Amino acid sequence: MKPSLPALDVLFEDDHLVALVKPAGLPTANAPRGVPSLFSVLQGRRPPGAFLGIVSRLDAPVSGVVVVAKTRSAAASLAEQFRDRTVDKSYAAVVGGRFPAPLGQWVDWHDAISRDEGERRSEIVTAQDTEADASGPRPAHARARVVRRAGEVSLVELEPSTGRRHQLRVQLASRGCPIVGDRLYGSRLPCPGGGLALHAARLAIDHPVDGRRMTFESPCAAAWQKVFPSLFSGR
């Protein structure tokens, strides 16, 4: 029996790109044979041989806004924007522990992240810039702030300018506040609805053809809001 394909929430689509919300639990691409991915689901809804370009990824347990190119030229333009860090990204996370800053205060994290081939976890190594050595630690930057606190959990907003593997997960865990549901990085709390309590809430790009700035947004899962109502009241 073939696995059921998830419904996709499409935020915008034209001849050049599609912006949509990836559900938690669905890999972006390169899933094992027989396992659906965002790429394979989109591919199944396109004419045979139609181009699809994955220009950025979210970890399988992470939900949120993703943009996919529909032409090679759009893929090149979008990939360049991600590479040049002109894309604006904002994430929401529910974390345990005590966030290392006062409520509402933005903090800047400049780290370097290392991940050995075959290892599941990434590690914070040093704060020095090591981008010249592609095989070594890579610099990782994000801005973060606590939006609300409620008991042992907090709602955190994050704005990464880099996109290292597991970046936000390891940056939060290394500061004593792992993302809810992220057992790999030390969380003891389950995520409502499964996956991780990390959501790509907003993505802003320049349209690859006409250059207009486009912003795509998606709210956090209803299950989070039901289980942690104090974190989302008034939002």
Verdict on whether the full-model pTM lies above 0.85? yes
Distances in Å between the Cα of 109 and the Cα atoms of 17, 46, 130, 161, 202 are 32, 41, 15, 10, 20
Q: Annotated catalytic residue: which of 9, 15, 59, 116? A: 59
Output the pLDDT for position 235.
59
Q: Where does residue 139 rank: exposed (0-12), middle (13-18), buried (19+ CB within 10 A)? A: middle
Residue 2, in any domain of the structure? no
Cα distance between residue 202 and residue 43, in whole Å: 24
What's the pLDDT score for residue 134?
Answer: 54
Three-state SS at 13:
strand
pLDDT attached to residue 26: 95
Q: Is 213 exposed, middle or buried (0-12, 13-18, 19+ CB in 10 A)?
A: exposed
Tell me what pLDDT residue 133 has: 52
Which class for 96: exposed (0-12), middle (13-18), buried (19 or more C-beta within 10 A)?
A: buried
Burial of 210 (0-12, 13-18, 19+ CB in 10 A): exposed
**Residue 130, pLDDT score:** 46
Answer whether residue 4 is part of any domain: no
| Residue 1 is assigned to a structural domain of this protein | no
Q: Which of 119, 105, 113 is nearest to 139 (CA)?
A: 113
User: What's the pLDDT at 31?
Assistant: 87
pLDDT at 120: 85
- Amino acid 25: pLDDT: 93
pLDDT at 136: 73
For position 228, what pLDDT does the model report?
A: 94
**How many residues are there in the chain?**
235
Q: How far apart are CA 98 and CA 17, in angstroms?
A: 40
Strand partners for 112: 139
Q: Which residues of the chain have pLDDT under 70?
A: 1-6, 126-135, 234-235
Cα separation, 42 vs 26, whole angstroms: 12
Q: Is residue 149 part of a domain?
A: yes
Report helix, strand or coil for 142: strand
Structurally, the chain folds into a number of domains equal to 1
User: Given CA atoms 146, 147, 148, 153 in this order, what sign does their dihedral have?
Assistant: negative
Q: Measured between alpha carbons, how far is 173 from 189 in angstroms, rounded to an integer?
A: 13
Kindly state whether residue 189 falls inside one of the protein's structural domains: yes
Q: What is the CATH number of the domain that holds 199?
A: 3.30.2350.10
- Can you give the residue range of the structural domain that contains 186? 9-230
Examine residue 19 and state whether it is found in any structural domain, yes or no: yes
Annotation says 111 is catalytic: no
Query: Is 147 within the bounds of a domain?
Result: yes
State residue 144's pLDDT score.
98
